[in-house]
Amino acid sequence: MEQPDECFDPLQFAVDLNLSDIKNVNLDENVFISKGLINQANGSSSIESKSLITQANGSSFIELSATKVTCAIYGPRETSSTSDESYSKCLLETSIKFSPFARQHRIDPLSVQYDNDEDCEESELCSRLEEALLPCILLHKYPKSQIDIIIDVIEDDGQHLLSAIILSATVALIDACIELYDTVVAKSLKTNDSLFTLCYMPNLAQVSCIFFDGEATPNYLDELTDEAVKQCQLLHKAICKVVISDLKSAAALNRKIV
């Protein structure tokens, strides 16, 4: 079969796109957190594990309005790095990849991406994720090992990407039974053209980091911080609910087998 020489994105030629159309902000955003996908029982006799990615130590799937992100955690496992750092604490390796259908414009998965490409969004998101997670993992408990966090962005609606990534990493870390000081809950707020993301640790009542792109006065930033902290606490309750119900069902399953 032949392949075309050059492909054009149909959106380039779109006639009826309303760019000045401000989309209605969906005030009740749907949040869906799960460590596996919900298994609707249809009478089969097979025992299926409920985790999304079976090979991984921990995995999760987060849906925040239209953003869908899956995360898999491998670790702690032996590290191949022999640097001085690795002798005293655990190394964190993060990898984020977009699906070809994640955005309006298709991202060709077969095109090679060079590592020292400066405007590589994936590596920027990786470093932000690391910054957000480093304060909460007990790295000194896993010397000479590394934890791999692998994230697949299935769909991105522009606003919630960073918070979905951090939330999915948190839930997957809990699923992988890696020791944490506290869960990291992240919330993104979008106002006009600026995006504000806050990573919060609810039990310790500490902010792990803040990311902000745009223009704002310091007072406005204070307001945004307060608003985000309140919403983070709600998200934290949702995460707790999921973790506890998962633990209960796992305990029930174990009891059945034993």
Partner 1 sequence: MSIDNYEELQKFIDLNEHYRTYLDEHNNTRPDGRKFHENRSIQILKKFLQHSYGSSMIRFGNTTVICSITGQLAKPSLKSLRSGFIQTVVLLPRTQAWSTYGRRQQIINENLTLSQHLLDIIYKSKLINLEDLCIEEGKWVWCLQIDFQCLNNDGNLFDSCLLALNVALHHTYFPTVKIDPDTQKPLVYTKELKHFQYNQQQEPLCCTIAVYEYEQEYKYLIDPTLEEENIAKCILHYVLLKNDQICLIHKTSGAPFSIDKFHQCYSFAREYILELRRKLNQ
- Residue 60 in the binding site for partner 1 (CB under 8 A): no
Q: How far is the CB of 258 from partner 1 (least distance, A)?
A: 9
The residue among 210, 68, 36, 63 whose CA lies nearest residue 135 is 210
Instruction: Yes or no: say if 136 and 181 are a contact pair by the CB < 8 Å rule.
Output: yes
Binding characters for partner 1, 79-98, by CB under 8 A (x = yes): ----------------x-x-
Choose one: 83-91, 125-133, 146-154, 237-245; the region binding partner 1 (CB under 8 A). Answer: 146-154
Rounded least distance, CB 156 to partner 1, Å: 9
Determine if 214 is a binding residue for partner 1 (CB under 8 A): no
- How far apart are the C-alpha atoms of 243 and 189, rounded to whole Å? 25
Length of the chain in terms of residues written: 258
Q: Is 114 a residue that touches partner 1 (CB under 8 A)? A: no
Look up residue 180 and give its DSSP letter. B
**Sequence-ordered list of residues with C-beta below 8 angstroms from that of 202, at least 6 positions apart, any chain:** 182, 183, 185, 232, 233, 236
The span of 19-27, 46-54, 129-137, 181-189 binding partner 1 (CB under 8 A) equals 46-54
Residue 93: phi, psi to the nearest 5?
Answer: -110, 125
Query: Smallest distance, Å, CB 150 to partner 1?
Result: 5
| Token pair 């002798």 in the structure block, residue | 87
Should residue 24 be labelled a site residue for partner 1 when binding is judged by CB under 8 A?
A: no
Q: Which 8-state DSSP code applies to residue 102?
A: S
Does 49 engage in binding with partner 1 (CB under 8 A)?
yes
Taking each helix axis as running N to C, give the angle between helix 161-175 and helix 218-257, from 0 to 180 degrees, rounded to the nearest 10: 30
The yes or no reply on residue 113 touching partner 1 (CB under 8 A) is: no
**Interface residues toward partner 1, by CB under 8 A:** 1-11, 13-17, 37, 39-40, 42, 44-49, 51-57, 66, 70, 72, 74, 95, 97, 99-104, 106, 109-110, 148, 150, 152, 154-155, 157, 257
